[in-house]
Structures are given as structure tokens and as C-alpha cells.
Amino acid sequence: MQRNHNHPTIVTIEKVIDETPTVRTLVFSDEIMSDVLPGQFAMVWIPGINELPMSVMISKDSGKAAFTVRKHGPASTGLFNIKKGEQIGIRGPYGNSFDLKEGRLLLVGGGTGLVPMMRLLTFVKPTDDVTVLIGAKTKDEVFFEKLANELLEKNPHKVIVSTDDGSYGEKGFVTDLVEKLVNETKFDGIYTCGPEVMMYKTVQSAHSRGLFVQASLERMMKCGVGICGSCCVGEDLVCRDGTVFDGEHLSKNKEFGYFHRNKAGILENY
Amino acid sequence: MEPSLETSIGQIHLKRPVMLASGILGISLDVFNRLYRSGAGAVVTKSLSTEPWEGYPNPTIFSVKGGGWINAVGLSNPGAPNFAKMIEPNKDVPIIVSLVGSIPGDFEMMVKQFENCKVTAYELNLSCPHVAKVGLEVGDDPELVKKIVTAVKNTTNVPVIAKVGLGTTHYLETVGTAIESGIDAITAINTVRAMAIDTETQRPILSNKFGGLSGTPIKPIALRCVYEISSKYDIPIIGCGGISTWEDAIEFFLAGASGIQLGSAIGDNWIQVFDEINDGIIQYMKRKEFSTIKEMVGLAKKS
């Protein structure tokens, strides 16, 4: 029978890579997930624990894909603790993807929000001039810097890391760097994924200067297919209308950057 | 003359007959407005409880390989008081407020929360198959059904609908009890208690193990129930269960429903499904020379 993408397909974890003390990448074989577009996600079932929306991470090997997870709550810790040889369920891929512009590109990622940024890097043209900003709280939490440089080997590029405490790279918030860069350079496309307040400031910096900017949003999700409504932001459903939205659209959304919904669906401030 | 999509379900008057079923997409007024613009005749809210409920852990929803969906979201909702505040600014959208509770007092308290809101009707969820002490457990207790319907009818002048499903008590008996207690309309049916087990990991997929089956597999069952209710009782009916095309909608009208609700079809085809069904109904009505929905209701019982 043809694969039903709304029903969990079981895959076996083949490799576990420690990225930082709290972040791991889990590699598995799956042709469909290996080909997803940047911004698309899967619902990942950790049997006996929970099911989580996850951006699909690239793998160097063909036919393979991965998830990069930070241990945080019980669900993500459950996924973080999965070992080589253990099984998880995946359904999807769901969601839309970034519109890739050509020329000068700026990618802004924070934490595991770097995952769709890394996938996006596999789609850039060799002629594109690409700047990648990686934001982290502290040195221990920096990852994918080497990978970003490897992926951009043939491009004119810069990978800049900023840490909130200055223990590595530039000191300060990554959004201050964004503000500085967009003042200096007229980027053709700006892309961001990470904590929502970071994305909100990035979108504001770019959109207020008339620059093309897109953000990949994250919300609490139950169904992933537009039934449960948990992931709504204003009138948009992140699972079905996103995850990627234009800065133009987001600038009119009253909830983006300010509110998210809890498990009961009540709006809470960031 | 162009056929009209307007319909009346007892005292409930709608411009279009296709509604959003309860439990789907229902926690933001902005989303309700969007669904109304997309062709929904009314939206039924998530079933609200007296307090906020988080619902079950994931997995809560997945689709069955052969078609249809199984869900056990666990009636997650912001609670009636929070929800009432959210929909207070509503002017345009016909909102049907779905309520779930254990005792008559729960329902009275919740209905009072909506006194300042534009509410088209209340729908009492007497048939959720996957949460204990509410839903089917209430619907299976005729005495409790009688007390709850009477209490709600005594609290509001807004029309009250009972949503029934397949429990241990025959749903026709529950419908009879609700009618005796003064109910204004019936929605039939809810999801059907079901499960699925993953053969690789050898575990039930849902965190709650059991859930409710919805979508195309239950349509023939829902249609049969609507036909049976309309054959036995003189009560306005809203058909619900596996409706995803205009043909499905017409079948339910012919079986005796004056309006329909859909949910799973949104997971399959997204929200343009409302306009697609509306257009299909209009084309059918032109071809068969009907000018109102009412002319079609119950026609399949003619012979």
C-alpha cells in the first residue's frame, strides 16, 4: 500500500551525534524526509512518551534525514535520549517552505531554529553571497558553525556567531547584529528561524527597510494537519499556512512576537 | 431563479448549510471569521468545560491507512469563561457553542458565561467517546440527559442542540429523552470509539490508547442514524460524520438533515472544502430543480 503521510511510519535511528551537551542529531533512513524543503516539518512519535513537531535536518548521506533536538521538556528529552537502533514514528512532511531569492542572503538562526537554515543552505546558488548569523546564549550551546562553513564552501560567505554572554564570537544578541547588517547591506533575502522574539526583531529590522524577509514559526502542535487548531497565530495555522510566513504578512499579525497559546489554548505573553 | 443555500434547523437560521463541527480549529475568533469567509454557514466551538483543560499528551490524532482519522485530543479547551471573553467582540459569525460537563450545574454555569455574546445556539456534547465522566457517559444516562437538557432550557432562550453518538444506550433512546426534555435539534453523530496499534513498536498509537474514528469510514453509519432519527421523530437534525463532498451533503439532506457539519474533511482537503461543497449543492439543486434546501430534506423516505 502507498505510504499514508498522515499515519506514523516507523524508522530506526542509525546514528546519534552529540552537537552540544544538550543538543543531539538523530540520523535515520527515509527517502521522503531526505528530500523535504526548508521550512517543512514532521510529526515525530517517541513511542510511550509523546509526539513532537520537528524541522527535518539534512544528512550528508543520500536517502537519509535527521532531527536535531534540544532536551527541554519531557517530550524533547524523550527524543534526546533515543539511542542508536531504537525506533521512532514519523508522519509528514507538512508545511510550506522558504521562497529562495538570489544574490545577497542573510540567514538568522537561534538554537534548533538553525535546522531549517542548514537545509536552506543546501539550496543556495554558488553565486549567492551568504551571511549566516548563529545566536546562542553561551559558548557551550553553539553548534552547526562548522557545518554552515562546509555547506557554503563554494560561496562567498560569512558565518558569524554571537553569544549573549560573549563567551564565544561576538558578544550580544543576534538581533543587534541583524540591525547592524541591514543598515550596511541591501540584502535580497533574509530568512530566520529560532525563538519568536528573535524572529520578531529580525522581521521588524528587515521589513521596516523594505527588505524581503521570511520566518519559520513554531507553535504547540497536536495534529499537524489543520484540524486541532492548537497552532493558530491570529487567523493563520502554522501547520497548514506555514511554517514560513512573509514579513509583510507577519507585520499585520497581532499575535506574532507577543503571544503563544498554552495546551488549553489560552493566549500567554512571551 | 438561483437556488438558495439558506436553511432553518428549527429556530436556527443559517445562510449556508455546511458548518464546522465541534473540536476542529475552534480556539480563535480570527480563525472563526476566516472559516465564515471560506463558506462555513456556522462554526461550532470546541467543547468547552467549566475550567481550562489541557487534553491528552500527543499522539492525539493520526489518519487510518485505509481512510479516516482517529483522535483523542481529550477535549482540550480554554474553559467557558475565557472562551466567552474571547468571542464577546463577535458580530458576524454564527457561533454555536459546544458544551461538555458532568452535571446540570456545569452547563448552567457555562451558559451564563455567554450572556453578553452573540450565540446562535448551544450544542450539548453528549457523545465524546474518549473522556471519562463526560460525553458518552452522560449521553448513556437518560436521567442525566433529562436533567441537563431541562436545566439548559431553563437558563437560556437560545436554541439548544443535543449531539448524540454511538454509546451503550441506543442513541434513539437518548434522542427521545432529549426531545421530551425540550431539546430544539439533534446533531448526529459524534466519532465512534476506536483504536489502532503499531505493529513495529507493538503499542497503541494514541497516548490515550482509545480515540474516536471520524472521516469517510463512518459516513454510512452517520447517514443511517440520521435516517433512523428522522423516521422516528419530528425533530430538526444536523448530520455529522464523514462528510467530505457535495454528494455526501445531499445524501444527508435526503436522509432528513436540514444542516450538516464537517471536520475531518478539513484535514484531508483544507478549508476550501466549504465552498466546494456549497458550489456542488447549488449545481445539484439547479439540475434537479430545487430552489430551497428544505425541499430536499427527508426525500429519501418518500417510498
How much is the pTM? Answer: 0.95
Distance from CA of B62 to the nearest CA of A (A): 5
CB B8 within 8 A of CB B242: no
Tell me the average pLDDT across B19-38.
95
Q: Is B34 on the interface with A (CB under 8 A)?
A: yes
Using pLDDT thresholds of 50, 70 and 90, give the confidence band for residue B139: very high
Task: Name the strand (E) or helix (H) holding B42.
Answer: strand B42-44
Q: Is B69 on the interface with A (CB under 8 A)?
A: yes
Q: Is A172 on the interface with B (CB under 8 A)?
A: no
- In DSSP notation, B153-216 reads HHH-SS-EEEEE---SS-HHHHHHHHHHTT--EEEE---EEE--EETTTTEESSTTS-EEEESG
Q: Is B26 a residue whose pLDDT tops 90?
A: no
Using pLDDT thresholds of 50, 70 and 90, give the confidence band for residue B27: confident
**Which SS3 state, helix, strand or coil, does residue B238 take?**
strand
Q: Do B79 and A264 touch (CB under 8 A)?
A: yes
Q: How do strand B197-198 and strand B203-204 relate by DSSP bridges?
A: antiparallel
Q: Do B30 and A237 touch (CB under 8 A)?
A: no
Q: Is B303 a residue whose pLDDT tops 80?
A: no
The closest of B15, B4, B21 to B37, measured between CA atoms, is: B15
Using pLDDT thresholds of 50, 70 and 90, give the confidence band for residue B256: very high
Question: Residues A174, A176, A178, CA angle at the centre, nearest 5°?
Answer: 75
Omega of the bond leading into B221 within 30 degrees of 0 (cis): no
Using pLDDT thresholds of 50, 70 and 90, give the confidence band for residue B1: confident
pLDDT tens digit sequence for B93-118: 999 999 999 999 999 999 999 999 99
The closest of A217, A214, A6 to A94, measured between CA atoms, is: A6
Q: What is the pLDDT of residue B124?
A: 98
Q: Is B281 a residue whose pLDDT tops 70?
A: yes
CB A169 within 8 A of CB A140: no
- Three-class secondary structure assignment of chain A: CCCCCCCCEEEEEEEEEEEECCEEEEEEECHHHHCCCECEEEEEEECCCEEEEEECECCCCCCEEEEEEECCCHHHHHHHCCCCCCEEEEEEEECCCCCCCCCEEEEEEEHHHHHHHHHHHCCCCCCCEEEEEEEECCHHHCCCHHHHHHHCCCCCEEEEEEECCCCCEEECCHHHHHHHHHHHCCCCEEEEECCHHHHHHHHHHHHCCCCCEEEECCCCCCCCCCCCCCCEECCEEHHHHCCEEEHHHHCCCCCCCCEEECCCCCEEEC
Q: Which three cell numbers stand for residue A54?
A: 520537528
Distance from CA of B26 to the nearest CA of A (A): 6
Sort out which chain A residues have CB atoms less than 8 A from B55's CB and list them. Answer: 222, 263-264
Residue in this structure with the C-alpha cell 439558506, named with its chain if needed:
B6
> What is the full per-residue pLDDT of chain A (270 aa) written as tens digits?
679 999 999 999 999 999 999 999 999 999 999 999 999 999 999 999 999 999 999 998 899 999 999 999 999 999 999 999 999 999 999 999 999 999 999 999 999 999 999 999 999 999 999 999 999 999 999 999 999 999 999 999 999 999 999 999 999 999 999 999 999 999 999 999 999 999 999 999 999 999 999 999 999 999 999 999 999 999 999 999 999 999 999 999 999 999 999 999 999 998
Q: What is the pLDDT of residue B302?
A: 78
Distance from CA of B132 to the nearest CA of A (A): 18
pLDDT tens digit sequence for B204-227: 999 999 999 999 999 999 999 999
Q: How do strand A23-29 and strand A9-20 relate by DSSP bridges?
A: antiparallel
Sort out which chain A residues have CB atoms less than 8 A from B61's CB and list them. Answer: 222-225, 227-228
Q: Which three cell numbers stand for residue B96?
A: 454555536
